[in-house]
């Protein structure tokens, strides 16, 4: 039996036990995981040091080195996040719906764990702890496959938090990381539909496409965000300025940052110069359509490519549109159905935009940067779904559950 | 451009329009589809005759010929079903949840169509009309790929009902059937994740496995049901007799029929002979474990294979278990997570069974045959999901929808 198969089979067994565990014990497990992180932070930092050394040898970028690095305060942050998850309401066991049929059957729809959750991710090592915490809270076993550059860190974290869950009596294989960093192992995980109920990829577009192309396990597509802010003819321009500045600059490297600004032609002369001013002051390079270039010479020429690009950087594409319809059509064509915003004081324009734009989150007069489990008030986030099945938008605890129908009868048979 | 690609692209375009259509117009479309079926039933029966002739040449089974056959009363039935769908509540537009965040954002989660639904099915031609009706009601475009033996019937039905939707002003490509009956065309449809939001396979286990193995479009797994009835030590044996008889015999060829009877050893001497009597009178062949064979000589010996088998026939496997735990473990091992029933008067046994058995529907003191959209009171059914993502159990209108977050602000930006 291959190592990945063995891991997934053990996860399935653990999941059967986990599904029966009370909220109280699951919360104790989260606190034990949190305590273990603090108690064993030296071992974690030691393992992380190996990854950092290897990263230096492989000359990975400074930005990636920073994301990879663990220190006592980052470990404390992970430990605190686990304690916060313990405070959230447990969705498992909720009776979602219930009714009595005409023949007297009582039908109830009850929330249950998914079973085994697979995660494939490129992100910081804290995703290892985050994902494990959310899965434990929802009674799921988790199989983790992080980035190879963080392998030692992830294995150390997994060992430490697994120790925590075992201490309160949960199954040893509730949380497992795949120690084989090869592509072959990742591909094997993608074919484990007999043992894994869902696969959540988190990372760049190419990782996510690889998972979609190769997985027989149901996938939740996450994260790619070519997000737009559309400044309508009836926009409050001071508000629009603040929103585009925030959506582009507050944290440019994330999926809910804006990548294209669309401006209605009626306000472009008033709005464009002030927007360009505030954005260039923040270091943003702007790629614009010919009309914008003619108004602001500091704008560089946009190519077709720019409308498609998720820069994840201090770069912004800008285009003048003739109408609300043209803005919506542009978003339809180039958007990735993540987060889209209109700035307008026009009631009908707001209604048409929110009705017709097909995206996980559509905003009126607010920054796209709010598409986030924490900002939405969900208390957590395991990813942002950009697909339409199962979950759409920020995914928290409920997205890690399924339901089952429990039907109570008194001898009913079908006529 | 290949034909399948063209069909899927046109479906995507149609879906954008359909998402905006009011419930009133969608209901008019359903009535127009219904009227068209009646008005053009001769053309449909003519096309069906070609399929029947071809079926006779290919010597397909009498059962399949019966499923394939259309006559005026079957067409009237389909037309009536469409009128019934028009009467159901439209889930699109429902505000599922909503709340205000601490910074004043109003977050609403609104139900929207999925977009484009793909169906691959082996069933009767009425699925063509059923699926199209449910998709129109929920504002989805649909791409249909039925069985090659029903090709002419399906194309004729599609043409007739498409005429209905066009008559009320809906897009021409709202409902399309793929005219190419080859496997290549089906495989192409499975890779259309850019244009198709979900694929629902309906048919035998091998069709469903093919779709799971090859599809990059998100799939909802349906239908395979190796269902169990467990007669507990504390069962009302008269009730148990009626339930197993109903679960096995009322319609043996469907996925929610029982395939294995598990009996607690404490009641096997009382229960088995009467169960065998009533079942064999109905023509059921019974395959049992050694203990059952020693009690009832008319029972044939079960092999390991029998515990795995979805007979879909008047055949039943029977096994004696020593405990509730053993019954649950057997179901865990051999079940397909479809429908499972316990017959018991014991409160704790009922609680453990419903809690621990992992299936789309778990019954106490009722027949497994109730796992059905109509029986559940959902008013319709497009399939029974046996997977955990998105929808589980009987799927009706709501399963054909997604949600989007519509967020109303007043200039909020992220700190």
Residues of chain B neighbouring A219 (CB-CB closer than 8 A): 218
Contact A99 B213 (CB under 8 A): no
Per cent of chain B over pLDDT 90 is 94
CATH code of A258's domain: 3.40.309.10
Query: Is the pLDDT score of B331 beyond 80?
Result: yes
Determine whether the interchain pair A105/B366 forms a contact, defined as Cβ–Cβ distance below 8 Å.
Answer: yes
- Note whether B409 contacts A376, CB cutoff 8 Å: no
- Both A14 and A64 in a single domain? yes
Q: Beta A393-395 vs A383-385: how paired, if at all?
A: antiparallel
Check A412 against B361: CB less than 8 A apart: no
pLDDT of residue B122: 86
- Report CB contact under 8 Å: B365, A409: yes
Give the whole-angstrom CA distance, residue A248 versus residue A275. 11
The reply to whether residue A236 touches residue B411, judged by beta carbons under 8 angstroms, is yes
Measured between beta carbons, which residues in chain B are less than 8 angstroms from residue A236? 411
Number of structural domains (chain A) is 2
- Residue A53 to chain B, least CA–CA distance (Å): 35
Are A274 and A315 found together in one domain? yes
Q: Does the distance separating the beta carbons of A411 and B365 come in below 8 Å?
A: yes
Interface test with chain B among A138, A379, A413, by most B beta carbons within 10 Å: A413
Q: Does residue B382 fall inside a structural domain?
A: no
Site of tokens 């089906």: B186
CA-based nearest residue in chain A for residue B241: A411
Q: Based on the fold, state whether residues A82 and A206 are members of the same structural domain.
A: yes
Domain assignment present for residue B412? The answer is no
Instruction: Judge whether residue B367 has pLDDT over 90.
Output: yes
Q: Say yes or no for a CB contact (<8 Å) between B406 and A356.
A: no
Phi, psi of B301 (to 5 degrees): -75, 130
- Measured between CA atoms, how close is B156 to chain A, in angstroms? 31
Q: Both A85 and A181 in a single domain?
A: yes
CATH code of residue A147:
3.40.605.10
Residue of A nearest to B116 (CA): A388
Instruction: Evaluate whether residue B379 is within a structural domain.
Output: no
Q: Of the candidates A20, A212, A409, which has its C-beta nearest B216's C-beta?
A: A212
B362 contact residues in A (CB cutoff 8 A):
404-407
CB contact under 8 A, B115 and A358: yes
Give yes or no: residues B402 and B253 share one domain. no
Among candidates B99, B392, B409 on the partner chain, residue whose Cβ is nearest the Cβ of A403: B392
Q: Contact B358/A388, CB-based, under 8 Å?
A: no
Q: Are residues A274 and A135 in the same domain?
A: no
Q: Do B107 and A354 touch (CB under 8 A)?
A: no
Cβ count within 10 A of residue A191: 16
Q: Contact B367/A413, CB-based, under 8 Å?
A: yes
In-domain check, residue A412: no
> Is A380 part of any domain?
no
Residues of B in contact with A247 (CB under 8 A): 413
Helix (H, G, I), strand (E, B) or coil at A112: strand
**Set of chain A residues whose Cβ sits within 8 Å of the Cβ of B109:** 393
Residue A95 domain boundaries: 3-221+387-407
Is there a domain that residue B413 lies in?
A: no
pLDDT tens digit at each of 415 positions of chain A: 899 999 999 999 999 999 999 999 999 999 999 999 999 999 999 999 999 999 999 999 988 899 999 999 999 999 999 999 999 999 999 999 999 999 999 999 999 999 999 999 987 899 999 999 999 999 999 999 999 999 999 999 999 999 999 999 999 999 999 999 999 999 999 999 999 999 999 988 889 999 999 999 999 988 789 999 999 999 999 999 999 999 999 999 999 999 999 999 999 999 999 999 999 999 999 999 999 999 999 999 999 999 999 999 999 999 999 999 999 999 999 999 999 999 999 999 999 999 999 999 999 999 999 999 999 999 889 999 999 999 999 999 999 999 999 999 999 999 9
- One domain, residues B340 and B392: no
- Give the pLDDT confidence score for residue A17 in this predicted structure: 96
Structure tokens at A293: 């270039």
Cβ-contact B287, B256 below 8 angstroms: no
- What's the pLDDT at A223? 77
Q: Calculate helix-pair angle for A23-39, A126-137, nearest 10 degrees.
A: 160
What is the helix, strand, coil percentage profile of chain A, to 5?
A: 50, 20, 30
Q: Which residues of B touch A19 (CB under 8 A)?
A: 356, 358
pTM: 0.93
Among the listed residues B345, B363, B346, the one whose alpha carbon sits nearest the alpha carbon of residue B354: B363
Partner-chain contact B212 A193, CB within 8 Å: yes
Contacts of B245 in chain A (CB under 8 A): 413
Residues B359 and B395 occupy one common structural domain: no
Q: Are residues A201 and A299 in the same domain?
A: no
CB within 8 Å: A411 and B193: no
pLDDT in tens, B253-310: 999 999 999 999 999 999 999 999 999 999 999 999 999 999 999 999 999 999 999 9
* Shared-domain flag, residues A234 and A285: yes
Flag if A365 and B250 touch (Cβ within 8 Å): no
Query: Would you say residue A381 lies in a domain?
Result: no
Average pLDDT, integer, range B120-140: 94
Nearest to A213 among B112, B216, B412 (CB): B216
Minimum-distance CB partner of A392 among B356, B402, B408: B402
| Coil, strand or helix at A176 | strand
Same domain, B177 and B264: no
Residues of chain A neighbouring B346 (CB-CB closer than 8 A):
none
**Contacts A–B by Cβ distance under 8 A:** 199
User: What ipTM, to 2 d.p.?
Assistant: 0.94
Residues B202 and B69 in one domain: yes
> B133 to each of A389, B39, B142, how far by Cα in Å?
20, 17, 10
The whole-angstrom distance between B411's CA and the closest CA on chain A is: 5
What's the CA angle centered on B384, arms B382 and B386, to 5 degrees?
A: 145
Q: How confident is the model at residue B203 (pLDDT cuts 50, 70, 90)?
A: confident
Q: Which residue in B has a C-alpha nearest to residue A359's C-alpha?
A: B404
- pLDDT in the model for residue A204: 83
Q: Is residue B100, in this structure, part of any structural domain at all?
A: yes
């Amino acid at each position: 039996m291959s190592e990945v198969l063995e891991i997934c089979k053990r996860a399935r067994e653990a999941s059967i036990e986990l599904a029966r565990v009370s909220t109280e014990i699951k919360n104790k497990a989260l606190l034990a995981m949190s305590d273990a992180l603090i108690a064993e932070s030296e071992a974690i930092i030691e393992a992380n040091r190996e990854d950092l050394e290897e990263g230096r040898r492989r000359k990975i970028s400074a930005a990636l080195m920073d994301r990879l690095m663990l220190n006592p305060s980052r470990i404390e942050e992970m430990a605190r996040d686990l304690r916060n998850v313990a405070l959230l309401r447990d969705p498992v066991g909720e009776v979602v719906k219930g009714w009595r049929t005409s023949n007297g059957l009582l039908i109830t729809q009850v929330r249950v764990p998914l079973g085994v959750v697979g995660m494939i991710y490129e992100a910081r090592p804290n995703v290892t702890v985050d994902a494990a915490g959310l899965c434990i809270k929802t009674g799921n076993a988790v199989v983790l496959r992080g980035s190879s550059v963080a392998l030692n860190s992830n294995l150390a974290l997994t060992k430490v938090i697994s120790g925590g869950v075992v201490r309160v009596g949960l199954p040893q294989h509730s949380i497992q990381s795949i120690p084989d960093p090869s592509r072959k192992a990742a591909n094997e995980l993608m074919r484990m539909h007999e043992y894994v109920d869902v696969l959540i990829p988190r990372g760049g577009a190419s990782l996510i496409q690889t998972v979609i192309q190769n997985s027989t396990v149901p996938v939740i597509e996450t994260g790619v965000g070519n997000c737009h802010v559309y400044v309508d003819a009836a926009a409050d321009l001071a508000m629009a300025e603040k929103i585009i500045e925030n959506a582009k600059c507050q944290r440019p490297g994330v999926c809910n940052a804006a990548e294209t600004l669309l401006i209605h032609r009626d306000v472009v002369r008033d709005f464009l110069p002030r927007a360009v001013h505030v954005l260039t002051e923040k270091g943003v390079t702007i790629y614009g359509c010919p009309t914008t270039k003619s108004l602001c010479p500091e704008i560089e020429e946009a190519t077709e490519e720019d409308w498609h690009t998720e820069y994840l950087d201090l770069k912004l594409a800008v285009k003048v549109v003739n109408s609300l319809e043209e803005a919506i059509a542009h978003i339809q064509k180039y958007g990735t159905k993540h987060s889209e915003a209109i700035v307008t004081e026009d009631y009908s324009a707001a209604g048409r935009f929110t009705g017709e734009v097909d995206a996980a989150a559509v905003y009126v007069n607010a920054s796209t940067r709010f598409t986030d489990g924490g900002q939405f008030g969900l208390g957590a986030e395991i990813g942002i779904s950009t697909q339409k099945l199962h979950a759409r938008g920020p995914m928290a605890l409920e997205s890690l559950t399924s339901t089952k129908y429990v039907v109570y009868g008194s001898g009913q048979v079908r006529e």
